[in-house]
């Protein structure tokens, strides 16, 4: 499947900002079933400095500074990506979760892909015993890691309510868990916390999900959103599981970055010297080139 | 040694009985006195006990006057630094072997860091479990692959040490993040060197300046410029160790800065100073690395500098220690150190840690499970702390706790380390017994330091020692009941004559322009708020005394209500009272001590104190105490109603405190840029207030009573009486309070002083054209010089006030970080 992606972020300031410094992670990742055919990043006003590098986990980060006074800051990323991931594993297949856990910690590698980085709590994913106990119900002794993780994902999908008003970007994980509500970021963090509580490596993936316009209606410009899901190390490879929609990750998901939690992959982070209020608008378009093939109706 | 001295010494140690299970500094395992102690105690016993006590009393007084203090975490108060114990004494030979062990350990930590942030060979070869590295919150991935500018991760290494069960020194915790205690150790030595100069000389106590000089050189090693500017980054006055940070900055000649003082520009780190942006070449950080860069590390941090990691990537900033160095503080590291020392250094580890087992290793887990009753269980990922303070489970744990931990070991064994308990060894401490002083064994914590120089590690011949006043008290963290002690390394030969620290380290430097803008801002407002406090108090005094009426000798009969109403109106306008029509005493009380009023004297003095907190290194201990007393004076219980006479007494005493404070800053503050800013604030505020007073009490329709009040507010009654025989009249009063350059309270006097202070400050442009704020000041000055009292009507006085306000704004815009050109950076909000 080939997608055209457009992600436009606009900040408006009541009083002109004099200076801004940002780190941008909006380039789709290469590999693991994805090929980036083209990509472009447009920033206005024109940055004073602009440099790109790879972060520890391999995502491309573009650091910019803007030194001209501005009332509006726009970052627009456009790309074409081919996604061909292949089928998900057979249900309940793969090594038992206990051996996955032990081998992850016994590994000798410290490269970005080594699962050992994803076993420990991180800034936004503390270990919460209630969440661990919730996850434990899906991991009986000897069950395959993939089977347990898939079941946990499905439980979160059915036990939690999607509610964009229930949480904010700053809501702690334990609170969202107690509410049994939130958005993709919350569900992803909760599922990661449950898996790590049991010692299993779990990563936060940021990206996009193909959505289907309501029947008979055209695709609305900018109506999509960025999305997040979980990558679980199942012993041999990372497998994507989307707790918001209760599905395994195949060709409807486009990966941008993988990290320990949202903090590692946030699409746009920065500081600005401005004294007034700021307003943020995000528009995302995920346009499949063969528009029309039905896919799951989804929340992001 | 005289018989008296021998008898004295015998009494001191007669009842000295260390715990048989714990090694002691005075009494070795063989029952004999250890190395340096007999010589030290002999020398001490030659002094009369009352002499010793008197010396300690004088030491304590010095500590108070110098304002050496510390905070207990989470506590607002400051506590005077508790130095009152005997020094810990160690023989040079023993210290040398200890120092070798410290150097080796520091070098080993350096090598581990270089590998973990680079090739990762140690993990690949199985010498160090990858999970121990990846599991540490101090493994900062943004720093992976970034070579430390200057080539070294560690510039300062510290170790908390104690004697193990076999009497040998062992390391209880490694400190590589941002070790504290060095400044306190220095202060301890400065105080004892004043208290026992004779002992230091005769006992050949090793001196410290050489170490501090080495440390300073090491801090800038690898900097790009040959005359590097070194900054000490503090988390601010509310840090528990701010005072020692300020002391270190002072002694080493470093610029003490907070995150707000620093800014990244053109890929390089700069300090905002009153002379513009100045390059910072080296940074000694006293904040944890996680808080260093809100862009790449902890996003909620307000203590750091956005983008500062970029300066490390491009090599333009040297940092002590390199962010990420905290990794080797990890509790799970110690089981692997002996093997790492052999593999990396080809040496056996000289200083060991208490034996420990990481539970992520199946064999380690089995051992810990089998010996849970005899071990202390600690977190693996977070830094080790001495004396089992971070113990999750000690041998004395309850059954229920034990059960929880056993379950935790099932879920995530790799989060835990089992360690042999390491109770703290003891050292002699004073105690007052029934018949005089005596020595008692008390647990102590000792931190030793090593500085990285061009030629290798240099270990400080001394350390930071803390001693518990009672057995069973944990001395590893400063709090009540813990005393600190100097550490004396006794050389076997005379040491070189001590050189004054300042002479050896800091080259004389007299240039202005090294003052961070934020500090200038705080100093300016300190001046303004103290002056504002005075203005409110003077208004309250005028209100209570009805002074205007008393001076209005040409008015017979009852004092008019108009003047009183004007005073009340002004107090309300200033936000000192919520209602101008309160009864006399209630009005005075609210204006003086009203906690809820933003314009009360109390509010202003509180604000002045907040500014002063940031200025501790520049304010004398005495000034600090006067400020504290002033706060107390203005902190009356608001639920009680006080009588007019009581309030009058309070206000008078408060006024004399304000004057004392002004005198102290004037007499004791160095005439550097800092002093100019205090004076600028004070003068501007006084000028503005005098104009306000003049509009109210010397306006076009002012009566004699108003004019009397005006003179009282400007403290000019006596001068006026001496000059004019008749009562208060409009033109002479205006001349005296506005134009007379000889009256230290006139507006003209303030403006002249302001002009002089501005001339002493650095200019941004070198083209000789005066900057805007200087032109403004010169304009006001000239206007006043040519003005005539008769022509100064109410409108002219109001215009003068506006001009002074503009001048204050211009000064702020030119010099302070809060000016419009340097707004505080805000995070981009929302889920982008």
Does the CB of B830 have a partner CB in chain A at under 8 Å? yes
What per-residue confidence (pLDDT) applies to A295?
47
Q: What is the pLDDT of residues B575-613, one digit of tens each?
A: 999 999 999 999 999 999 998 898 999 999 988 988 887
More confident residue, B721 or B697: B697
| Gap between the Cα atoms of A188 and B255, Å rounded | 45
In a domain, B364, yes or no: yes
Task: Please report which confidence band the pLDDT of residue B505 belongs to, taking 50, 70 and 90 as the band edges.
Answer: very low
* Cβ–Cβ below 8 Å for B307 and A274: no
Inter-chain residue contact B130 with A110, CB threshold 8 Å: yes
| Distance from the B404 Cα atom to the nearest Cα atom in chain A, whole angstroms | 11
Residue B218 has pLDDT above 60, yes or no: yes
> Domains in chain A, please, with CATH?
2-84+266-288 (2.60.40.2250), 97-265 (3.10.620.30)
Both B638 and B559 in one domain: the answer is yes
Same domain, B485 and B532: no
CATH number at residue B406: 3.30.1490
Q: Which of B283, B279, B306, B303 is nearest to B291 (CA)?
A: B303
Contact A120 B134 (CB under 8 A): yes
Q: What is the mean pLDDT of residues B557-561?
A: 59
What pLDDT does A297 receive?
A: 47
Report the range of poorest mean pLDDT among A12-21, B448-457, B731-740. A12-21
**Do B409 and B429 lie in a common domain?**
no
Instruction: Give the helix/strand (H/E) hosting B276.
Output: strand B276-279
| Residue written as token pair 């010793």 | B52
**B404 and B472 assigned to the same domain:** no
Q: Which of B121, B134, B269 to mutate to test the interface with A (most CBs of A within 10 A)?
A: B134
For residue B138, what is the nearest residue in chain A, using CA coordinates?
A: A122
DSSP state of B322: P
The pLDDT of residue B507: 47
Report, as an integer, the average pLDDT of B94-121. Answer: 97
The pLDDT score that the predictor gives to residue B825 is 62
Burial environment of residue B481 by CB neighbours within 10 A (0 to 12, 13 to 18, 19 or more): exposed
Least Cα distance to A128 among A217, A190, A75, A84 occurs for: A190
Contact B829 A280 (CB under 8 A): yes
- With respect to residue B9, please indicate whether it lies within any of the assigned structural domains: no
Distance CA B295, CA B302 (A): 11
Taking CB atoms and an 8 Å cutoff, what residues of chain B touch A123? Answer: 298
Instruction: Indicate whether B348 belongs to any domain.
Output: no
Pairing of strands A278-288, B426-433: unpaired
Residue of A nearest to B137 (CA): A122
Please tell me the distance from the alpha carbon of residue B478 to that of residue B79, in angstroms, as a whole number: 10
- Here the contacts of B798-806 (C-beta below 8 Å, separation 24 or greater) are B798/B691, B798/B695, B800/B691, B800/B738, B800/B747, B801/B688, B801/B691, B801/B692, B801/B695, B803/B776, B803/B779, B804/B684, B804/B687, B804/B688, B804/B691, B804/B747, B804/B751, B804/B780, B805/B688, B806/B776
Nearest CA in chain B to A112: B141
Give contacts of B129 with chain A, Cβ < 8 Å. Answer: 105-106
Stretch B433-458: mean pLDDT: 91
Distance in Å, alpha carbon of B284 to nearest chain A alpha carbon: 24
Nearest residue of A to residue B822, measured between CA atoms: A273
Token pair listed for B126? 């199985």
Would you call A290 exposed, middle or buried from its count of C-beta atoms within 10 A (0-12, 13-18, 19+)?
Answer: exposed
**Averaged over B473-479, what is the pLDDT?**
74
Residue of B nearest to A225 (CA): B832
Q: Does A179 touch chain B (CB under 8 A)?
A: no
Query: What residues make up the domain containing B169?
Result: 88-331+425-505
- Please name the residues in contact with B388: beta carbons below 8 A apart, sequence gap of 6 or more: B376, B378, B394, B419, B421, B422
Complex ipTM value:
0.93
Best interface-test mutation with B: which of A21, A53, A120 has the largest number of B CBs within 10 A? A120
Residue count (chain B): 832
For residue B454, give how far its alpha carbon lies from the nearest alpha carbon of chain A (Å). 31
CB atoms within 10 A of CB B725: 6
| Residue B770 CB-density burial (10 A; 0-12 exposed, 13-18 middle, 19+ buried) | middle
Chain B residues with CB under 8 Å of A111 CB are 120
DSSP state of B384: P
Query: Which of A64, A105, A277 is the mutation pick for testing B, counting most B CBs within 10 A?
Result: A105
In A, minimum Cα distance to B264 occurs at A21
Rounded Cα–Cα distance for residues B529 and B601 (Å): 9
- Asked if residue B286 lies in contact with residue B239, where contact means CB atoms within 8 angstroms, the answer is yes
Query: Above pLDDT 70, what percent of chain B?
Result: 89
Closest listed residue to residue A124, CA positions, set A235, A296, A265, A282: A265
Confidence of residue B766 (pLDDT cuts 50, 70, 90): low
What is the chain B residue with the closest CA to A48? Answer: B266
**Residue B820 confidence (pLDDT):** 38
Q: Give B152→chain A minimum CA distance, Å.
A: 21
Question: Sorting pLDDT into bands at 50, 70 and 90, what band is B832?
Answer: very low
pLDDT value at B58 more than 90: no
B122 → chain A, closest CA residue: A108
Higher pLDDT, B830 or B583: B583
Count how many domains chain B has: 3
Taking CB atoms and an 8 Å cutoff, what residues of chain A touch B411? 132, 197-199
B189 pLDDT higher than 50: yes
Final residue of a structural domain among B419, B442, B457: B419
- The distance of Cα A101 from the centroid of its chain, to the nearest Å, equals 23
Report the length, in residues, of chain A. Answer: 300
Say what the pLDDT of residue B818 is: 53
Cβ count near B32 (within 10 Å)? 11
Of A23, A49, A111, nearest to B295 by CB-CB distance is A23
Q: Are residues B459 and B592 in the same domain?
A: no
Pairing of strands B230-233, B282-285: parallel
Task: Enumerate residues 6+ apart whose C-beta is below 8 A from B593.
Answer: B600, B601, B602, B634, B635, B636, B638
* Residue B701 covered by a domain: yes
Task: Establish if B407 touches chain A: CB-CB under 8 angstroms.
Answer: no
Q: Are B231 and B323 in the same domain?
A: yes
Residue B296 sits in the same domain as residue B226: yes
Q: Looking at beta carbons, which residues of chain B come within 8 Å of A21?
A: 264, 295, 306-307, 825
B469 pLDDT higher than 80:
yes
Angstroms from A246 CA to nearest CA on chain B = 23
Integer Cα distance of B455 and B789 in angstroms: 72
Q: What is the DSSP string of chain A?
A: -EEEEEEEEEEEEEEEESEEEEEE--SPP-BTTEEEEEEEEEEESPPSEEEEEE-TTS-EEEEEEE-S-EEEEEEEEEEEEEE---PPPPTT-SSBHHHHHHHHHH----STT-GGGGSS-BTTB---HHHHHHHHTT--TT-BHHHHHHHHHHHHHHHSEE-TTT--TT--HHHHHHHTEE-HHHHHHHHHHHHHHTT--EEEEEEEE---PPTTSPPPTTBB-EEEEEEEE-SSSEEEEETTTTEE-SSSEEEEEEESSHHHH-SEEEEEE-SS-EEEEEEEEEEETTTTS-------
> Mean pLDDT throughout B665-675?
80
| A132 near B CB under 8 A | yes
Is 0.90 surpassed by the pTM of this model? no
Model confidence at B550, in pLDDT bands (50, 70, 90)? low
Position B154 in a domain:
yes
Q: Mean of the pLDDT values across residues B448-457?
A: 96
B373 beta partners: none
pLDDT at A296: 47
Q: Which residue has the higher pLDDT, B624 or A297?
A: B624
Over range B603-627, report the average pLDDT: 80
B269 and B305 in contact (C-beta within 8 Å)? yes
> 10 Å Cβ neighbour count for B723?
12
Residue to substitute from A16, A51, A108, interface B, most B β-carbons within 10 A: A108
Option in A65, A108, A268 nearest B124 (CB): A108
Q: What DSSP string runs through B769-816?
A: PPPHHHHHHHHHHHHHHH--GGG--HHHHHHHHHHHHHHHHHHHHHH-
Claim to verify: residue B192 and residue B220 sit in the same structural domain = yes
Task: Examine the domain organization and report whether B412 and B429 are in the same domain.
Answer: no
DSSP string, A94-118: SSBHHHHHHHHHH----STT-GGGG
Q: Are B389 and B339 in contact (CB under 8 A)?
A: no
On whether any CB of chain A is under 8 Å from the CB of B121, the answer is no
Chain A partners within 8 Å of B124 (Cβ): 108-110
Interior CA angle at A36 toward A35 and A38, to 5°? 150
Asked whether residue B197 is domain-assigned, the answer is yes
Region A20-42 average pLDDT: 94
If asked whether residues B370 and B485 sit together in one domain, one would say: no
CB-based contact (8 Å) between A129 and chain B?
A: no
A18: pLDDT strictly greater than 50: yes
Count residue pairs from A and B with Cβ separation < 8 A: 119
- The pLDDT of residue B404 is 78
Buried b (16+ CB within 10 A) or exposed e, B79-104: eebbbbbbbbbbbbeebeebbebbbb
Tell me, yes or no, if B824 comes closer than 8 A to chain A by beta carbon: yes
B486 assigned to some structural domain: yes
Beta-carbon separation of A199 and B267 below 8 A: no
Dist. CA B89–CA B205, nearest whole Å: 9
CB nearest to A278's CB, from B133, B298, B829: B829
pLDDT band at residue A178 using 50, 70 and 90 as cut-offs: very high
First to last CA, chain B: 79
Most confident of A252-266, B31-45, B424-438: A252-266
Contacts of A119 in chain B (CB under 8 A): 131, 134-135, 414
Asked which of A26-35, A192-201, B448-457, B719-728 is least confident by mean pLDDT, the reply is B719-728
Question: DSSP 3-state assignment of B80?
Answer: strand
In this structure, are residues B619 and B608 in contact, taking their beta carbons and an 8 Å threshold?
no
B542-564: average pLDDT: 65
Contact assignment for A110 to B116 by CB distance below 8 Å: yes
What is the pLDDT, as a whole number, of residue B96?
96
Q: Cβ contacts (< 8 Å) between B296 and chain A: which residues?
A: 23
Is A165 touching B (CB cutoff 8 A)? no
The pLDDT value given to residue B73: 61
Rounded Cα gap, residues B90 and B74, in angstroms: 35
Instruction: Tell whether B613 and B646 lie within a shared domain.
Output: yes
pLDDT mean across residues, chain B:
86
Cα separation values, B473 from A234, B167, B486, Å: 49, 21, 19
B824: its two tokens: 């505080």
The answer to whether residue B824 is domain-embedded is no
**Looking at beta carbons, which residues of chain A come within 8 Å of B134?**
110, 114, 116-117, 119-120
Interstrand relation of B230-233 and B255-257 (parallel, antiparallel or unpaired): parallel
Of residues B615 and B707, more confidently modeled: B707
The last residue of one of the domains, among B366, B388, B419, is: B419
The token pair that represents A90 in the structure block: 């057979």
Which of these three, B482, B505, B528, is where a domain ends?
B505
Mean pLDDT of chain A: 91
Q: Percent of chain B at pLDDT above 90?
A: 50
Query: Can you tell me the mean pLDDT for B532-539?
Result: 96
Give the DSSP per-residue string, B572-641: HHTTS-S-TTS-HHHHHHHHHH-SS-TTSHHHHHHHHHHHHHTTGGGS-HHHHHHHHHHHHHT---TTSP
Measured distance CA(B830)–CA(B832) in Å, rounded? 6
Q: Which two tokens stand for residue A234?
A: 């199942």
Please give the structure tokens belonging to residue B399. Answer: 């059954």
CB < 8 Å from A in window 340-379 of B: 360
The residues, any chain, with a CB within 8 Å of residue B578's CB and separated by 6 or more, are: B572, B590, B594, B596, B597
Closest residue by Cα to residue A100 from A127, A129, A134, A139: A139
Query: CA-CA distance, B771 to B782, in Å (whole number)?
Result: 17
Q: Min CA distance, B126 vs chain A (Å)?
A: 6
Q: Give the nearest partner residue to A11 out of B299, B825, B828, using CB atoms.
A: B828
CB nearest A116 (choices: B130, B824, B825): B130
Chain A contact for B411, CB < 8 A?
yes
Q: How far is A94 from chain B (nearest CA, A)?
A: 21
Residue B554 and residue B465 in one domain:
no
C-alpha–C-alpha distance, residues B58 and B63, integer Å: 9
Set of chain B residues whose Cβ sits within 8 Å of the Cβ of A273:
822-826
pLDDT at position A217 over 90: no
Q: How many Å apart are CA B60 and CA B66, to the nearest integer?
A: 10
């Amino acid at each position: 499947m080939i997608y055209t992606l457009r992600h436009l972020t606009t900040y408006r300031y009541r009083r002109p900002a004099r200076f801004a410094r940002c780190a941008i992670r909006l380039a789709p990742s290469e590999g693991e079933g994805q090929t980036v055919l083209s990509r472009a990043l447009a920033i206005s006003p024109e940055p004073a400095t602009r440099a790109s590098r790879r972060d520890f986990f391999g995502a491309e980060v573009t650091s910019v500074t803007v030194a001209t006074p501005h009332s509006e800051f726009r970052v627009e990323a456009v790309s074409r990506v081919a996604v061909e991931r292949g089928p998900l594993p057979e249900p309940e297949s793969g090594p038992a979760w206990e051996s996955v856990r032990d081998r992850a910690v016994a590994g000798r590698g410290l490269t970005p892909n080594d699962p050992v980085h994803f076993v420990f709590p991180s800034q936004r994913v503390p270990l919460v015993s209630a969440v661990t106990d919730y996850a434990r119900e899906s991991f009986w002794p000897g069950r395959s890691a993939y089977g347990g993780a898939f079941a946990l994902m499905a439980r979160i999908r059915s036990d939690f309510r999607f509610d964009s008003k229930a949480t904010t970007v700053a809501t702690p994980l334990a609170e969202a868990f107690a509410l049994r509500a939130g958005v993709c970021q919350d569900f992803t963090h909760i599922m990661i916390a449950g898996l790590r509580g049991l010692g299993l490596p779990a990563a936060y993936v940021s990206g996009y999900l193909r959505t289907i316009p309501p029947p008979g209606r055209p695709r609305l410009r900018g109506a999509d959103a960025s999305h997040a899901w979980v990558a679980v190390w199942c012993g041999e490879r990372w497998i994507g599981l989307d707790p918001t929609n209760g599905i395994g990750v195949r060709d409807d998901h486009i990966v941008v970055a993988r990290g320990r939690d949202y903090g590692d992959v946030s699409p746009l982070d920065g500081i600005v010297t401005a004294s007034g209020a700021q307003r943020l608008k995000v528009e995302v378009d995920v346009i499949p080139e063969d528009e029309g093939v039905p896919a799951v109706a989804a929340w992001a | 040694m005289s018989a008296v001295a021998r008898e004295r010494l015998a009494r001191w140690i007669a009842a000295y009985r260390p715990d048989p299970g714990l090694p002691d500094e005075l009494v070795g395992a063989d029952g004999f006195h250890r190395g340096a102690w007999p010589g030290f105690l002999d020398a001490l016993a030659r002094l009369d006990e009352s002499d010793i006590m008197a010396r300690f009393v004088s030491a304590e007084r010095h500590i108070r006057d110098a304002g050496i203090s510390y905070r207990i975490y989470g506590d607002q108060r400051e506590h005077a630094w508790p130095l009152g114990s005997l020094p810990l004494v160690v023989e040079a030979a023993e210290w040398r072997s200890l120092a070798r062990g410290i150097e080796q350990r520091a070098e080993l930590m350096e090598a581990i860091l270089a590998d973990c942030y680079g090739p990762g060979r140690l993990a690949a070869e199985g010498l160090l479990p990858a999970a121990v590295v990846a599991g540490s919150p101090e493994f900062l991935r943004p720093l992976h692959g970034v070579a430390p500018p200057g080539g070294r991760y560690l510039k300062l290494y510290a170790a908390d040490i104690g004697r193990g069960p076999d009497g040998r020194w062992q390391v209880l915790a490694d400190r590589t993040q941002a070790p504290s205690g060095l400044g306190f150790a220095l202060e301890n030595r400065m105080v004892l060197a004043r208290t026992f100069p004779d002992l230091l000389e005769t006992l050949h106590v090793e001196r410290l300046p050489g170490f501090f000089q080495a440390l300073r050189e090491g801090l800038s090693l690898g900097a790009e410029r040959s005359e590097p500017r070194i900054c000490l980054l503090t988390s601010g006055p509310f840090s528990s160790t701010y005072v020692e940070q300020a002391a270190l900055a002072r002694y080493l000649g470093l610029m003490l800065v907070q995150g707000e003082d620093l800014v990244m520009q053109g890929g390089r780190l700069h300090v905002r100073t009153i002379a513009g942006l100045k390059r910072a070449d080296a940074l000694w950080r006293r904040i944890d690395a996680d808080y260093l860069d809100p862009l790449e590390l902890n996003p909620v941090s307000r203590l750091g500098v956005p983008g500062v990691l970029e300066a490390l990537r491009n090599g333009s900033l040297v940092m002590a220690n390199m962010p990420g160095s905290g990794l080797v503080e990890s509790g799970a590291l110690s089981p692997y150190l002996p093997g790492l020392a052999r593999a990396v250094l080809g040496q056996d580890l000289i200083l060991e840690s208490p034996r420990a087992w990481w539970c992520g290793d199946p064999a380690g887990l089995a051992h810990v499970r089998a010996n849970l009753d005899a071990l202390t269980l600690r977190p693996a990922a977070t830094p080790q702390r001495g004396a089992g303070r971070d113990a999750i489970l000690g041998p004395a744990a309850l059954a229920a706790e034990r059960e929880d931990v056993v379950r935790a070991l099932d879920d995530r064994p790799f989060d835990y380390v089992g360690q042999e308990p390491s109770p703290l060894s003891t050292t002699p401490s004073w105690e007052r017994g029934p018949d005089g002083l005596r020595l008692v064994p008390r647990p102590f914590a000792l931190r030793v330091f090593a500085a990285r120089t061009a030629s290798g590690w240099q270990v400080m011949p001394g350390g930071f020692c803390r001693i518990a006043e009672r057995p069973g008290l944990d001395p590893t963290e400063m709090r009540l009941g813990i005393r600190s002690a100097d550490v004396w390394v006794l050389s076997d030969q005379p040491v070189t004559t001590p050189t004054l620290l300042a002479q050896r380290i800091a080259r004389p430097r007299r240039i202005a322009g090294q003052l961070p803008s934020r500090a200038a801002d705080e100093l300016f407002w300190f001046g303004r708020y103290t002056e504002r406090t005075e203005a409110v108090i003077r208004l309250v005094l005028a209100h209570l005394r009805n002074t205007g009426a008393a001076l209005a000798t040409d008015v017979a009969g009852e004092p008019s209500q108009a003047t009183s109403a004007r005073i009340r109106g002004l107090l309300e306008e200033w936000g000192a009272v919520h209602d101008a029509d309160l009864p006399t005493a209630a009005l005075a009380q609210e204006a003086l001590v009203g906690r809820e009023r933003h314009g009360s004297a109390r509010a202003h003095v509180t604000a002045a104190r907040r500014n002063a907190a940031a200025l501790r290194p520049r304010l004398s201990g005495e000034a600090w105490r006067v400020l504290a007393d002033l706060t107390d004076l203005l902190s009356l219980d608001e639920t009680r109603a006080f009588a007019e006479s009581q309030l009058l007494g309070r206000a008078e005493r408060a006024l004399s405190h304000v004057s004392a404070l002004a005198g102290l800053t004037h007499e004791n503050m160095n005439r550097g840029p800092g002093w100019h800013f205090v004076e600028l604030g004070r003068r501007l505020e006084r000028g503005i207030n005098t104009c306000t007073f003049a509009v109210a009490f010397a306006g076009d329709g002012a009566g004699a009573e108003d004019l009397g009040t005006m003179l009282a507010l400007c403290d000019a009654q006596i001068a006026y009486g001496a000059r004019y025989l008749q009562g208060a009249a409009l033109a002479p009063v205006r001349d005296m309070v506005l134009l007379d350059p000889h009256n230290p309270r006139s507006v003209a006097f303030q403006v002249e002083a302001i002009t002089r202070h501005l001339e002493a400050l650095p200019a941004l442009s070198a083209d000789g054209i005066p900057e805007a704020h200087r032109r403004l000041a010169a304009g006001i000055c000239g206007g006043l010089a040519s003005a005539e009292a008769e022509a100064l009507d109410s409108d002219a006085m109001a215009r003068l006030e506006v001009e002074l306000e503009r001048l204050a704004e211009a000064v702020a815009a030119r010099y302070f970080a809060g000016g419009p050109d340097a707004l505080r950076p805000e995070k981009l909000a929302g889920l982008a």
